[in-house]
Structure 1
Amino acid sequence: MSIALRHARVRYGPLEALHGVTLVAPGPGLTVLLGRNGSGRTTALRALAGTVALSAGAVVWDGTDVTGLSAFERARRGLRLVPERRAVFGSLTVAENLELAGADLAPALDAYPQLAPLLPRPAGTLSGGEQRMVALSRALLARARVLLVDEPAQGMSPTVAARTYELLGALDACVVVAEQRLPPGLRERTGRTTFVHELSRGAVVFSGEAAERTPGRPHRRR
């Protein structure tokens, strides 16, 4: 199980956001696309999902070139994208948001018990961190084969953020997240290996295991 970009280029008008990026996210397991704003990490995530088109290169899923498949078709095959913004239906209640992904809400409430008292509230009235919990719970209920999440712990307390990464890391899926910084604990995480691809100005500057990436040292290409 894996999803990959091969020599991927993405253009927004005259500007090229990805410059021939190659990266692989193996699964089941967790891969982090790391980088500052403007590095290309979110564009890489969207390219994998099919919500932005490649101007060159390919998206390869389990050895099959899916570059020509629409985002809808990729979703039908088990890929889920949780964007940074507009990840919930604000006019629907929390319960209604979750019911769109599955009739049984128990797994979502087991993952985030904090959502139980919020079930009757419109999702648009929740805090940013609470909305992230709803969006991620929907993704968990969908049982995706590939789960792509842009800044999963945004707005969460450190405790809930740690719980979120514990949940993501335990999924039987290929999980790819985009973050500005490597989340605490992933470098020393036991069990499954966490992989990191660090991007800068639309190019990969580091690829390897999270434990290999030492803060403060020059990044290296592979």
Structure 2
Amino acid sequence: MSIEIELRSARVRYGPLEALHGVDLPVPAATLTVLLGRNGSGRTTVLRALAGTVPLAEGRVLWRGADVTRLRAHERARRGLCFVPDRRALYPSLTVAENLAPGGARRPDLAPALDAYPDLAPALDAYPELRPLLDRRAGTLSGGEQRMVALSRALSPGARVVLVDEPALGLSPAVAARTYGLLCALDAAVVVAEQRLPAGLPPGTLVHELRRGALAFSGQAGELTRGA
């Protein structure tokens, strides 16, 4: 099993508070990895450290063996990393179509037929609920609708690493299950952060549980449920 991206001895500090205490976390390629933990456990900080939105105080981030610790978040994004945070994951003043395909904002002639615009096809296939909302300002949508817009960015076929903080946040059970099905089908290293273990995970799903900034468990989902 090849490793796509990993943290090695990662420490993250927010002022005097250390949020991660020397975490080692390998993320295999083309595999779903679940980070479990309560609020304050460090699971969101792990995602941010991988994405480059928080700096490491100590340790390294390796991507296919290359040290990318000093690589900025936008540079990691250009290399194929997609990070969907739990909040502030879209542009509320832009329309749904503009959030899904920013180029559409410069092409007013596309407005009547944005649902046929090729860049929007993956998002609209995944979440057809967004079709009638394309000309709405994203900030006027419900929490679940906003989440679908944000999650659509994770479905890009060019993504090599996909990081999603609480993918099911605000979604109905049916849409949450569909979302997990879509994430599992990606040809990418997918890491999701959750407070509880989602139901229906595929065999071989890796789980890491964090407590107070350190790993308390690492293994497969079935091992965690048997030990519960």
**TM value normalised by structure 1:** 0.92
CA offset digits 1:28-68 (Å, max 9, x no partner): 02101110000000001000001000011111111111111
**Equivalent position of 1:65 in the other structure:** 67
Which stretch has the larger CA shift, 128-137 or 97-106?
97-106
CA offset digits 1:62-104 (Å, max 9, x no partner): 1111111111111111111101111011011111111128852
1:136 Cα offset (Å): 1.1
Q: Distance in 1 between matches of 2:92 and 2:31?
A: 31
Matched, 1:126 2:141: yes
Pairing of 1:67-106 with structure 2 (within 5 A): 67-100=69-102, 103-106=118-121
- Mapped contact 1:40–1:202 kept (Cα < 8 A): yes
Q: Distance in 2 between matches of 1:147 and 1:10?
A: 21
Query: Which runs of 5 or more residues in structure 2 are unaligned?
Result: 104-116
Which 4+ residue blocks in structure 1 deviate beyond 6 angstroms?
none
Identity of counterpart residues, as a percentage? 72
**Equivalent position of 2:216 in the other structure:** 205
1:138 Cα offset (Å): 2.2
**Equivalent position of 2:163 in the other structure:** 148
For 1:171, which of 186, 194, 214 is the aligned residue?
186
Aligned AA (1:80):
C
Q: Distance in 2 between matches of 1:45 and 1:85?
A: 13
Aligned AA (1:139):
A
Aligned AA (2:16):
P
Which stretch has the larger CA shift, 140-149 or 118-127?
140-149
1:12 Cα offset (Å): 0.5
Change (3 A) 1:153 1:44: same
**TM value normalised by structure 2:** 0.89
Q: Distance in 1 between matches of 2:55 and 2:91?
A: 25
CA offset digits 1:134-153 (Å, max 9, x no partner): 01112213631101110011
For 1:214, which of 221, 225, 228 is the aligned residue?
225
Aligned AA (1:94):
V
1:155 Cα offset (Å): 0.3
1:106 Cα offset (Å): 1.4
Q: Distance in 1 between matches of 2:151 and 2:157?
A: 10
Q: Distance in 2 between matches of 1:54 and 1:158?
A: 36
Q: Distance in 1 between matches of 2:157 and 2:94?
A: 18
Aligned AA (2:25):
L
- Mapped contact 1:29–1:170 kept (Cα < 8 A): no
| Structure number, greater radius of gyration | 2
